[in-house]
Chains A and B, each alone.
Chain A
């Protein structure tokens, strides 16, 4: 395995930061392996995305505007990716660790008879082997796992784990021919976008998360959102808040929700149950606001302020806004 291919996940050409993080890391790993880095952007809008990807140090970006990619559930994407991987030869395929990224990764593993490592946060090359670092058992364990040098490898990468830095000399854009197929299994009848304009939780540098202590849906809008905005971050939630219907499930953080690793995590009215902890324990700095000084979150936050969130949060937002005002 000398080359690296990035699966550039997108919707009609608009993608998330993780795509560029993968493109940046792919180039580093490819040069350590003595090979080249590629990306594949598939479906309507992929040409526009390819233009953006061309600013990264990649050899080529494979594209296809094939409308079937939006009409059928993942089958066309897996076909195209397998085709691109076969073109490039034994390679490392980097896939974002998102819901659909995981599906793609499991299927590509079989198509390419590849090894797979999931939820990777660090990559290195040791003696020609790619070594992947990934947390397991809800973060209780950090593993180092090597892929076989002569074979294909598939890695799902945690968003926010790598930096994105454009520095390309203009990658070649190459359109892929449609791979032969004996039909696609599942047809997409309709596709609804929810909360799309908001910053993706997994890639936000700051997450302000609320729990049952907020008592209802309004404080997420009136209390947490302004604080998150002041800090340039996104709003998240505990399962108790999602279960109560105060916020959509896609804001849930934890074992059965998203795993986030922002530089700063502020937990407001969240007790810190183990299932919540596993989704945010790797954050840079953890601050908690809780009425109860004995809440479990005290054990793993850098700062716990014991007090009423309804009084503290608005004051904090004001302080941050004032400070920002002085700098600009």
Chain B
């Protein structure tokens, strides 16, 4: 039995549930919009690991019967409106999530994804170091609080983009004349700059040992926000060179991610550069555009009970 932890109002979780149903794989949904309300949990840890149950209104799932877990935690906007003191509610929600995360860390079946694996996404330059070690090229990157260094970097590379350092979602923008006049603000704290890499975007989803590459054609600097600039986006399945595909799988394994969304760019010379790895990819956008069977592969993975070889287990 597969356990899905997420909110049905979230399109990605909804798609995962639909695909599991289509595939004939039984699953139970722990609806995080409501959890823990409406559920009964009894998790007992001994030297042998966790044992116990999760029960919904009309079902009981033994932890030993779980073959795989798909988890997509929700922010406050995905939860039911708080009752009573919002601060107390938030603290109790945090405590509830912490218990669930601890359980997921300690289950032996495949978990997509364990919390520890996603932490690198909170620091893009840190993640870039790990990606580089995994054998993926990363664009020339500068993190600086020195305006002169930023200007010199632009002088060296010509076109330069800037984006957030942390996991805070930001729109990738070109460093233009307007931004250059504001470089003095860097003295308040560092920002991240990267050499602009020309070419086409390629989004790679690794699902266990399987790889799905999607090329994205657009004129936008950040294709996720192309519509804001009135630009079109077209997607189609792509095939990666074997070495790049192997490096993507290695990166996902190094980051302890059973399922990852990897952002690449293929230059006109055929080189590939990696920008970042998303530990909780919203793959629905790519699957709908290309009909690549990403969710079906994910469903198969969750039904296997055994994680692919080489993945590390939880390290705090």
Whether A associates with B in a native complex is: no
Residues of B within 8 A of A (CB): none
